[in-house]
């Protein structure tokens, strides 16, 4: 198979080929074969250092996009600063059009209004800002650190897809938690500080909960009502 083929009608064959490659090869191929601008998104969550390090080893100046809802943990903001300094990240921050105070003044605490409220909140605070910044940067190919083992909704995550007019690449889709842990250890990279306090999936303060025995990772987010905020479904 031509390693540079990117035809939409051959996504299955391309994914089969990528499945036989390691993550470094997947990244190198995508950076060469897929159209720029190349962008990496990160929530700076529990294991985010792995994908950030993996991509910046290949393209040190790759734009790294963070959606800052204004409701992240203080520890997350500190972690962002730590990794930006450690990896010299080219960070781009997307923010909602409304500040947290203004959003609540207009709409109330949407995350307390069931799944419909959560969906509305995620559209305003995450999906729209991400759509806007990807367009402003002129993104042709979007890299993300999604992994199949993170939740039932991600079990079929492909290495490569074409969504809403741009390519999307998930180079560590088949990595397990052990794979991530070994990568972090090999490169002396940190977990998110809250990892040591039982947080396995970390987002906004109001919809993130510490893991307890009997819970699945996906149950620690959004009160168990949903797993995806829409960033990787609607953008």
Residues assigned a catalytic role: 229
Structure letter (DSSP) for residue 125: I
**pLDDT (tens digit, 9 = 90+) per residue, 69-120?**
999 999 999 999 999 999 999 999 999 999 999 999 999 999 999 989 999 9
The least confident of 64-68, 128-132, 149-153, 163-167 is 149-153
Q: How confident is the model at residue 216 (pLDDT cuts 50, 70, 90)?
A: confident
**pTM assigned to the model:** 0.89
SS (H, E, C) 74-101: HHHHHHHHHHHHHHCCEEEEECCCCCHH
Distance CA 200, CA 218 (A): 9
Q: What is the CATH number of the domain that holds 173?
A: 3.40.50.620
Residue 31 lies in a domain: yes
pLDDT of residue 229: 58
Count of structural domains, the chain: 1
**Neighbouring C-alpha atoms within 13 Å toward the C-beta of 109:** 6
Q: Once rounded to an integer, what is the mean pLDDT over residues 32-43?
A: 96
Residue 69 lies in a domain: yes
Residue 186 lies in a domain: yes
Q: 212 lies in which domain range? A: 8-224
pLDDT of residue 1: 37
Distance CA 208, CA 206 (A): 6
Q: Cis before residue 37, ω within 30 degrees of 0? A: yes
Residue 146 lies in a domain: yes
Distance CA 229, CA 211 (A): 19
Residue 62 lies in a domain: yes
Residue 234 lies in a domain: no
Residue 137 lies in a domain: yes
């Amino acid at each position: 198979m031509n390693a540079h083929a990117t035809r939409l009608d051959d996504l299955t064959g391309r994914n089969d080929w990528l499945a036989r490659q390691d993550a470094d090869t997947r990244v190198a191929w995508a950076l060469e074969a897929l159209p720029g601008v190349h962008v990496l998104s990160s929530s700076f969550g529990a294991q985010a250092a792995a994908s950030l390090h993996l991509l910046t080893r290949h393209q040190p100046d790759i734009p790294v996009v963070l959606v800052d809802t204004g409701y992240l943990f203080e520890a997350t903001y500190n972690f962002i600063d730590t990794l930006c300094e450690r990896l010299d990240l080219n960070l781009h921050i997307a923010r909602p059009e409304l500040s947290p105070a203004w959003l609540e003044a207009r709409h109330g605490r949407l995350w307390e209004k069931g799944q419909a409220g959560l969906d509305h909140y995620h559209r305003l605070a995450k999906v729209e800002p991400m759509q806007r910044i990807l367009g402003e940067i002129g993104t042709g190919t979007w890299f993300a650190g999604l992994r199949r083992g993170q939740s039932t909704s991600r079990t079929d995550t492909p290495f490569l897809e074409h969504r809403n007019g741009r390519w999307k690449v998930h180079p560590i889709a088949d990595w397990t938690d052990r794979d991530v842990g070994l990568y972090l250890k090999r490169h002396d990279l940190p977990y998110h500080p809250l990892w040591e306090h039982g947080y396995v999936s970390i987002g906004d303060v109001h919809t993130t909960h510490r893991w307890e025995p009997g819970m699945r990772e996906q149950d620690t987010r959004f009160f168990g009502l949903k797993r995806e905020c829409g960033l990787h479904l609607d953008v």
